[in-house]
Amino acid sequence: MKPLRFAALAALLLAAVPAWAIDPFNAEYEASWKGVEADARITLASAGGNRWNYTLSVGNSLGSARQTTVFEERGGSWRPLSGNDTTQMLFKKSQKNASYDWAKGEARWSGDVKPDRMGPVKIQDGDLDAMLLNLAIIRDMGAGKALNYRVVDNGVVRQQSYQNLGKDTVSAAGKQLDATKVSRSSENKQVIVWIADGYPVPVRILQKKDGKDDLDLVLKAVR
C-alpha cells in the first residue's frame, strides 16, 4: 500500500496572521483513513533559531503514517531543509528521506524510492516541498494572491495550482463555522480544504482518490 501523500492532501496549515509571524501550534483531528476511523495530529514546533519542525501524523487499526518537514524562515519565505515520510501498514513499512542543499541548489531523496526519483533535482528560490505547500496556501489566500506554486517533492518538480471554491459551512471544533474552500485536482486525485478565520489550521481536509474519500480530517481542537 502506498504511503500517504499529505502534500497532495492539501491538508493545509497555518492561517494568516499579522506580518506572517510563525507561531507553534498543536491541532487534533477526528479522521477517517482508508474508510476506518482514525486519529490525526498536525503540529508546528520551533527547532531553534529560524528553523521549524512541521509534522502531520495519522493512525488507526490499519496502520500509521507520519510526514515531517524541517524548514527555515528567511525574510518571510520558507525553505525546506529536510523531510521524512514514513508509513506502517500491518507488516509493510515504507520510509523516504529528503535533503535540500541550498548551497548546491539541489535536492536528493533516499530510502524506499525508485532510482529515477533519487535526484539530484535542481531547486530555486521560492520552491516548496509538499508540506510547506500547505502553509503557503493559507498565507497567500489571506493575502489575496494566486495559489500557484512550484513544488519539489518525491524526486520530481510539479506546478500546482489551487482554485478558490467560495464559502461553505462546516461543522468543526464543536461549532458551525463559515469557511472558504480551496481545491486541487490532478489525474485521479482531488484535495479540498476548508479554512476559517481565527483558526491557525484548516478546519477540514478531504482527499479523494478515484472519486472516493481516502482521507478526511475534521478539526477537533487546537492550541
What is the three-state SS of the chain?
Answer: CCCCCCCCCCCCCCCCCHHHCCCCEEEEEEEEECCEEEEEEEEEEEEECCEEEEEEEEEECCEEEEEEEEEEEECCEEEEEEEEEEEEECCEEEEEEEEEECCCCEEEEEECCCHHHCCCEECCCCCECHHHHHHHHHHHHHCCCCCEEEEEECCEEEEEECEEEEEEEEEECCEEEEEEEEEEEECCEEEEEEECCCCCCCCEEEEEECCEEEEEEEEEEEC
Convert the pLDDT of each residue in 109-160 to its tens digit.
999 999 999 999 999 999 999 888 877 887 887 788 888 999 999 999 999 8
Predicted TM-score (pTM) of this structure: 0.85
Whether residue 171 is predicted with pLDDT greater than 70 in this model: the reply is: yes
Percent of the chain, pLDDT > 70? Answer: 91
Convert the pLDDT of each residue in 108-118 to its tens digit.
999 999 999 99
**pLDDT for the residue 16:** 34
> How far apart are alpha carbons 143 and 125 in whole angstroms?
20
Scan for cell 459551512, then name that residue.
169
> How far apart are alpha carbons 10 and 215 in whole angstroms?
11
Domains and CATH numbers, the chain: 18-92+123-222 (2.50.20)
| pLDDT classification of 5: cutoffs 50, 70, 90 | low
